[in-house]
Amino acid sequence: MSTAVESKQLTVTDFKGKVDPDWCPGCGDFGVLSSLQKVLVEMNIQPHHVVTISGIGCSSNLPGFINTYGMHTLHGRALAVATGVKMANHKLHVVVTGGDGDGFGIGGNHFIHTMRRNVDLLYVAMDNQIYGLTTGQTSPTSRKGMKTKSMPYGNLEEPLNPIALALAAGATFIARGFSAEPKHLGNLIKQGLEHKGFAFIDVFSPCVTYNHDNTYAWFRDRVRKLEDDPSYDSSDWHAAMKRALLWGDEIPIGKFFQRMDLPSLDEAEPVLNDGPLAHRDLRIPPQVVRNFIAELI
């Protein structure tokens, strides 16, 4: 598919969506969108070779703000839809975006199983520890004690740890970014896109309207880059789990874990050896049909 358009040097404008983002001014999601667009330019991936898929929520509006093929699906279902897209055409780059409620709450089941299957896609969760689009309720990653409209006396429940969950579920690339660290985040997105298998990036993406606990300043004081520790080995699962459990005054960001020895689902599935399903001949060869019918006689 080398054509005139493909050989043209891309710019960020090529990835500009039909409309501008309508996120609140200062929303962390802006940083994620622009990092993603920049990386796609840097990697020279054509817009029509990318499918950006989301569920529902503020961050899930992202596919409308980027020029790629997009799917803005149901609340929590983006990873299931994305698995179908990737299986039907494994030549496409599939990027899934969404929030913590969408991915870890209502979509939790698909999150676990998509990791277990090692579907080759990049999943960027914009984690603001709150439900924003529904005007501020407790999310699965809201801190214990946090007061919201849905838990006005404070959250009684322990928050979910997405990094530890991803490690336990068998994700093969696991990272955490911070939307106010665009260079660092861009680097993680690039590695995630290059990773053959399920790549998960949990991005701290502050909600400036509804979350007054986990603000830019709160994160800035706490985040420490794993890359700054030369002794850290991201191929060591146990070391990754240890770091994943850190929370409080020091919160690690960066690449926690990566393994490249496992085939992704499309690599493991022999049916895909003959190329993308979407472009296959729909007819079953007559000899195969004869065998199918012979079994019944």
Partner 1 sequence: MDRTFAVAIGGAAGQGVATPGDIFAKIFARRGLHISAYNAYQSIIRGGHTFLTIRTGIEEVTCFGDRIDLLIPLNQDSINRHLGLMQSGSAIVYNGDAIKPGAHPPGAQLCPLPVNQLSKGSRSKVEQNTLALAASLQMMGVDFEPLAEILTEQFMRKGSKVVTENLDIARLGYDYASANFRPFPDPLPMSDTRYAVLSGNIALAMGGAAAGVKFYCAYPMSPSTGVLHWMAAHAREAGIMVRQVEDEIGVINMAIGAAHAGARAMCATSGGGFALMTEGLGMSAMMETPVVVIDVQRAGPSTGVPTKTEQGDLWQMLGAGFGDFPKIIAAPTDILDCFTLVPEMHNLADRFQCPGIILSDLLLSEGRSSVDPKQLSFETVIDRGEMIVSADATSTNGYKRYKITESGISPRAIPGVPGHTHTAATDEHDEDGVLISDEFTNPVKRRAMMEKRQRKVAGIEGAVPVPVLIGEPGTAVTLIGWGSTQGVIREAVQILEEEGISANQLQIRWLVPLHGEAILNILKSSKHTIIVENNYSGQFARYLRSETSYVPDGYIRKYDGEPFMPHHIVEAVREQLASKIQKPRLSVPMHEIMV
Q: Which residues bind partner 1 (CB under 8 A)?
A: 1, 3-6, 17-19, 22, 46-49, 51-53, 56, 61, 63-64, 67-74, 77, 80-89, 91-92, 109-110, 112-113, 269-272, 274, 276-280, 282-284, 286, 288-289, 291-293, 296-297
State the minimum distance, in angstroms, from the CB of residue 48 to partner 1: 5
Q: Give SS3 for 22.
A: coil
Dihedral (Cα; 256, 257, 258, 259), 10-degree rounding: 170
Q: Give SS3 for 242.
A: helix
- Kindly tell me which of 5 and 245 has the beta carbon lying closer to partner 1: 5
- Kindly tell me which of 129 and 264 has the beta carbon lying closer to partner 1: 264
29-31-35 Cα angle (round to 5): 120
- Kindly tell me which of 156 and 282 has the beta carbon lying closer to partner 1: 282
- Kindly tell me which of 112 and 223 has the beta carbon lying closer to partner 1: 112
State the minimum distance, in angstroms, from the CB of residue 226 to partner 1: 31
- Kindly tell me which of 8 and 149 has the beta carbon lying closer to partner 1: 8
- Sign of the alpha-carbon torsion through 204, 205, 206, 210: negative
- Kindly tell me which of 105 and 252 has the beta carbon lying closer to partner 1: 105
State the minimum distance, in angstroms, from the CB of residue 12 to partner 1: 15
Beta strands 50-54 and 173-178: pairing type? unpaired
Identify whether the C-beta of residue 51 lies closer than 8 Å to the C-beta of residue 205: no
Identify whether the C-beta of residue 121 lies closer than 8 Å to the C-beta of residue 81: no
Identify whether the C-beta of residue 121 lies closer than 8 Å to the C-beta of residue 80: no
Q: Which helix (H) or strand (E) holds 197?
A: none
State the minimum distance, in angstroms, from the CB of residue 125 to partner 1: 18
State the minimum distance, in angstroms, from the CB of residue 42 to partner 1: 19
State the minimum distance, in angstroms, from the CB of residue 223 to partner 1: 32
Give bridge partners of residue 124 from the DSSP assignment.
97, 201
